[in-house]
Structure 1
Amino acid sequence: MDIPPRLAPLLEQYDWGCLRLINRMTGPEVDSGNGSPVPVSPLTTAEYLWEPVPGAWSVRRHAEGPGPRATWLVGGGDWGRDGYRDAEPYPPPFTTIAWRLSHLSEMLALRADHTAGSRSLTKDGYVTNGDADGAVAAFAQAVEAWRDALLSCDDAALDTVGYSSYPYGSDAGDMFIDIVWWVNQEVLHHGGEIALLRDLYRTQQP
């Protein structure tokens, strides 16, 4: 199927944003923005779980229970991501690389399923990773799943309200092209946050 002309620039933006984030986490280098390479070391589990401020939200073993001000550990398996079931705490908690990357991966995987899959995956069933290697691999897999979902839609789908039935966002009331744009900005802004946290972690080490 040909890529709808309106989707092509959004897909290009998505691919570039995901590639930059994956390279920023795995190395051996990342584009500085002007074409020159910057060396990057692979993300470690210690860095993935690093809490730079007290009370940060992260991913934790279910046996430990949720972190400060969290009321729910989101996800299946041994690990879950700090979250809430009722009112979101204010001010919002600071979140770790683990939290942000888990959030991105879950969102991409579930939206892909609710667009071009079984339309049955839930937050409770999504497996959250407690180590960096597993988390990066899960993100890369989710990136491809959402990309495949985008490639399966035609031009009419872009204007269809509720084309994605993802139950944790505004999908039911939005045209699909607006959801595609929203996912891109999630990747871009959380990717920038993860890159900044990597810089902060590096400068904190002896």
Structure 2
Amino acid sequence: MNRLISFHDLQGLVFGVLMTSLGVVFLKAVGLVTGQTAGLALLLSYLLPFGFGPVFFAVSIPFMFLAWLKRGTDFTIKTLCAVAGISFVVPMLAAHIVIESIPPLLAAILAGACSGVGLIALFRHNASAGGLGILALIIERKTGFKTGWFQLCFDACVFLVASLVLEPMQLLYSLVGAVVLNLIIAWNFTIDQTRNSD
């Protein structure tokens, strides 16, 4: 059943966007990547003359049709808001948070933790961060295969491509961050925790 975004949902979406965006800022500070569409957007932002925000939004848009088709208008609107929010908040935070020195391993762990918590908040309020998260939620709903485990498998493909661009240690630290993110989701979230009634 579709509904207007309540204050309860709004605060969850804002928190999810903020924490997920902060995770991306940690990654960008040390030149790391993550999995899913955010990882693809980070990789492309390193290679192309475009920032993370526009690239992330563009990569996520094709999945909105899938979201609308499989999860309905309520989920799609909230996800579109989350994607737009992350696309805007990441460059805003990056412009105001100056990280002059942080060990890459610590940055990776903090990024995974922040993004994992942020994504859980989005999932629990019937939204996602776009892209693969939409597909992962659909698959868990239909098959019971955990969202975190599915994303971890897909991340392996992203990191295979990243290995052509990043230094070996950058790739290793990035992998640590992705594992932290997906384990947090796998251990702390199940699809029945969403407020979606379909």
Which one has the largest radius of gyration?
1
Which one has the bigger helix percentage? 2
Give the alignment's TM-score, normalised by structure 1: 0.29
More RCO (CA 8 Å, sep 6+)? 2
